[in-house]
Structure 1
Amino acid sequence: MTDADLVAPLSVPARPDLTGGRRVGVLVSHGFTGSPASVKPWARSLADVGCAVEVPLLPGHGTSWQDLNTRRWEDWYAGVREAHDKLAAENDVVVLAGLSMGGALVLRLAADLGDSVAGVILVNPAVATTRKDVLALPVVKHVLGSLPGITNDIAKPGVLEHGYDRSPLKAAHSMMQNWRPLRDALPQVTAPVLLMRSAVDHVVDPSSARIIRAGVSSDDVTELVLPRSFHVATLDHDAEMIHAESAAFVARVTGARAEADGTRP
């Protein structure tokens, strides 16, 4: 498999024969400077249990960090919204899932869509930082195009995320500027939430998980610690745990929704 294949988007139709006759869709988003390669095994594990999956290639990714530096939060949000709308048109129910910035994007989408979302799955989502150097981004982005990258924070030897080795600063600033509006919108997230975070994460600090837990209005929030993985846990030692917990969560929240809607076969 070539690098182009790894970073390409992924689209798999539903298998309702495996999901009790329901057509269940799951949107899975990669993170900042990453690529679909970082979440494809996760997405395929959900396709294996019958879910339709959409893994978009977010604008500016899979090309060059210079291209990403011309893109902004609104572009990435439009990418996940388009993938969601495709799933919603073709399936009975949709769950949102994301890694890192992908988690932030699907949280924003869940806040905007409200009760139409069946559930939200997050792996090391980023909605804040305690790093002091971030405060300098509004100035530094005009002087430097990029800084060393944040990809491949993986404990498992020999595994690559297939992302950029540089972090473009204008794009990074756009992402961080949109964290505050996202945090303000967290009370609009009413869907069940499965939050999985690594015990050791060199990219996203624990403040994001605390903020999400305290901010969402959902009364169904499950937090799990991934004990053996770093930031890109979807490719790390705990990937099988992520797969199993995600499949169980999707089955539970889409089953409950089908029952409530009166559409259970």
Structure 2
Amino acid sequence: MPLLPGCEPMHHEGSEIGVLLCHGFTGSPQSLRPWARYLADQGLTVSLPLLPGHGTCWQDLQLTGWQDWYATVDRELRTLSERCAQVFVCGLSMGGALALRLAARHGDAVTGVTVVNPGITFPRLEGLALPVARHLLRSSKGIASDIAKGGSNEVGYERVPLHAAYSLRNFFRLVRTELPQVTQPLLVLRSRVDHVVPPTDSAVVLSSVSSTDVTETVLEHSYHVATLDHDAEQIFADSYGFITRLAARKTARDGA
């Protein structure tokens, strides 16, 4: 199945500071490409993989699960770690959960974490219905392109495959149990208005991690896909400032 336009993965060779970006459920690298390009333009090494089952058609996603998605970003992190002295992980929505699990499991191999509207819970009623509903219905209405900015669109699926959604629910449950293992500096950027992920998800992350260097920023003018919305430039600049601050601190500490 050919890729949808704009869904290609991206890799840029730059400095010894590496950044791994993780896109969201039913989305694609397209939603994070401007962010990735911004960081690449600052001279960083950047990896933006395409998660299995994404970027083609929702029927392909139906055949995958969280183990496939996580294995992809885990492999990318290991590759970056071989190339770079420091690696940062970033993610949007489900990509935020992927980034947090990478931080929890890889410890010092991850220098810092940036998440934008991280998904970490599943709507209660839908979650309770999924074990049965996924055998009765193949898909439900899509969640892509929740953007306030006119003329800006996310390339994502118009349908949500329910088998994959069931796997996502199980993944969120797992990640919530691992959040206390996240000790790295954390930057959380969340939209005040989000029609996909409730603001309480960011609150769960902030209250559960063990990080002591934590920053939360509220995005006033964007919806869920904030990386393509009015506050995109703020996300790019804030994350780069976060990365450079931590990279300089770690370099100074290692050289002391």
TM-score, normalised to structure 2, is 0.97
- The residue type paired with residue 238 of structure 2 is E
CA distance in structure 1 between the partners assigned to 2:134 and 2:30 by the alignment: 28
- 1:165 and 2:165 are equivalent in the alignment: no
Counterpart contact for 2:192–2:199, Cα < 8 Å: no
Once the two structures are superposed, what CA deviation does each residue of 1:187-207 show, in whole Å capped at 9, x if it has no partner? 110100000000000000112
3-state DSSP class of the match of 2:136? Answer: coil
Secondary structure, in 3 states, of the residue corresponding to 1:11?
A: strand
Which aligned pairs between 1:1-265 and structure 2 lie closer than 5 A? Answer: 4-14=4-14, 16=15, 23-262=16-255
Residue type of the partner of 2:44?
C
* Deviations, residues 24-61 of structure 1 (Å, cap 9, x unaligned): 00000110000000000011111111110000000000
Letter in 1 for 2:248: G
Say which SS state the counterpart of residue 189 (structure 2) adopts: strand
The whole-number CA distance in structure 2 between the counterparts of 1:198 and 1:228 is: 7
Q: Percent identity?
A: 52
3-state SS, counterpart of residue 95 of structure 1:
strand
Any conservation in 2 of the 1:35–1:162 contact (CA below 8 Å)? yes
Residues 114 and 189, structure 1, Cα contact 8 Å, conserved in 2: yes
SS in 2 for 1:162: coil
In the TM superposition, residue 63 of structure 1 has moved relative to its aligned partner by: 1.4
Q: 1:4 and 1:65 mapped to 2: Cα distance?
A: 11
Secondary structure, aligned partner of 2:218: strand
**Cα-to-partner distance string for 1:135-159 (whole Å, 9 max, x where unaligned):** 2111101011100100000001121
CA positional deviation for 1:130: 4.3
TM value normalised by structure 1:
0.93
Is contact 2:4–2:56 with CA below 8 Å preserved after alignment? no
CA RMSD in angstroms comes to: 1.4
Deviations 1:104-153 (CA, angstroms, capped at 9, x unpaired): 00101100001221000000000013442222111101011100100000
CA distance in 2, matches of 1:129, 1:224: 23
- Extract unaligned runs of 5+ from structure 2: none
Residues 24 and 91 in structure 1, CA contact (< 8 A), matched pair in contact too: yes
Aligned residue identity for 1:217: S
Q: Following TM superposition, by how much is the alpha carbon of 1:82 offset from its aligned partner in structure 2, in angstroms?
A: 1.4
Is the contact between residue 94 and residue 119 of structure 2 (CA under 8 Å) also seen in structure 1?
yes
What SS does the corresponding residue of 1:178 show, helix, strand or coil?
A: helix
SS in 1 for 2:20: strand
Q: Deviations over 1:49-90 (max 9, x none)?
A: 111000000000011101101100000001111111111111
